Amino acid sequence: MHQLRRDDQSSVQVKIGYVGGGSRSWATTLMNDLAQTTDLAGEVALYDVDRESARTNAELGEWIQRHDEAVGDWKYTVAETLSDALADADFVILSTQDPPGETMVNDLELPAEYGIYQTVGDTVGPGGTLRAMRSVPQYREIAAAVREQCPDAWVINYTNPMTVCTRTLYEEYPDINAVGLCHEVFKVQELFADLAEEYLDADDVAREEISVNVKGINHFTWVDDAHWGDRNVYDLVDRWVADRESVPRFDPGDLDDESYFVNHRDVTQDLYEQFGILPAAGDRHLVEFVPWYLDVESGEEVQQWGIRQTPSEYRVDHWPEGEDERRELLEGDEPFEFTESGEEAVDWMRALLGMEPLKTHANYPNRGQCPDLPDGAVVETNVLVDGDGVTPLTAGELPDQLHDIVLTHVKNQETLVAAGFDGDLDRAYRAFLTDPLVDVGTEEARELFSRLVDAERDYLDGWDLSSSVLDHEESAIAADD
């Protein structure tokens, strides 16, 4: 990190390079948080291949700063190149996404033709695999730019697939300082806060008061200990489960009028009853890591577990809606509404600058914190963050059978990263084939993989698209003809 300096008001001056600076959601959240920060100040350099979207965010950031409630002092600029954005940066924020109309529609709809239904499609399963394949070349480029422009900067990644993106950064630049942040675990802390209020007659318990022991991989994390202060509250889960209805408890169509992001915690309840350990991620993500919840004849049947699919049309429609919301803010008469976002990027920056230590959870290379998972693989556990960096905290081992499920996904993610560095489509296909959600025959799996690659080839830079896995499919089609 280059020499930091303070202004006359003693704010530490920093530069944040924001890759994906045209973001339609994460950028606004960061601007909200920075504007309410008094001990940090400086420049946010926005870089995005969609230059116009980055310009809109720069305009939005400056508009937010003009509000009386904006006590932070930040300047927003648009960087013409990735190198410009990262030059001498102290922190790098990553929140990128390819256009959903050209990618996620295929990720969700093509597998559905083979009876493979996905509730999210961004971490594992066919959608997660293709998203990983698109991401590896992009995150190699980002890591190389960090190595050249700001080798000591801390990189905070918000992009899914979280594990693959963060792992790619380290594979390209082993000395990088990078973490992946996800807010999923906050939800299980909120659950324990609710249980403390319900069963212990406590009042207004905040999730920050709940300490949990986290272990696993992103979106498939688990908690085996929870404390509220000195009080062990993990045993409250048994009371919570005993008081609930047995699951599954819904019929297809019951949730048609609810949000696509509804979560009744029914999958959480069932997994706890099966494995004796509490899942920490949301149900919509959890079901994609195990095959049985999505073994259905139609997407509507997923509702029996208290969740809904996020359809491709929502992904497509939501993209321009984000642009419209920003423009409405800028062109309307209403002031910006500052909020407590609950996100931790600013807390991380303050902790890494030595201002205030932070104990939280993060995605970070395994250095023994998950002793039963491969060294170097990116895992999600508690960490201590301070001026000396990130110290992962030992989480312990997973239950045996659950460990085997997690390990399958770890090895597939490691395979996808290695395949991406070699551009080896055949190797990526093997990870695709062994993903638990790809529960079709090998010929169908190969055909589906080929169709996905063909539909998204414009976003698969660095891959050898003359691979034998595609040749095989062409031969099979020719034979059928």
Query: Annotated catalytic residue: which of 2, 183, 219, 361?
Result: 183
- Phi-psi bin for 307: left (phi > 0), alpha (psi -120 to 50), beta? beta
What is the spatial distance between Cα 324 and Cα 133, in angstroms, rounded to a whole number? 30
From the list 210, 276, 208, 216, the residue with the least C-alpha distance to 241 is: 276
Q: Are 447 and 97 in contact (CB under 8 A)?
A: no
Task: Identify the bridge partners of residue 363 per DSSP, sorted by sequence position.
Answer: 180, 380
* Active site (annotated) includes residue 264: no
Give the length of the chain: 481
From the list 168, 167, 214, the residue with the least C-alpha distance to 187 is: 214
12, 128, 334, 370, 371 from 403: Cα distances, Å: 44, 20, 51, 11, 11
What is the spatial distance between Cα 467 and Cα 464, in angstroms, rounded to a whole number? 6
Q: How far is CA 160 from the centre of its chain?
A: 4
The helix-helix angle for 400-422 and 162-172 (nearest 10°) equals: 50
What is the spatial distance between Cα 153 and Cα 90, in angstroms, rounded to a whole number? 5
Residues noted as catalytic: 183
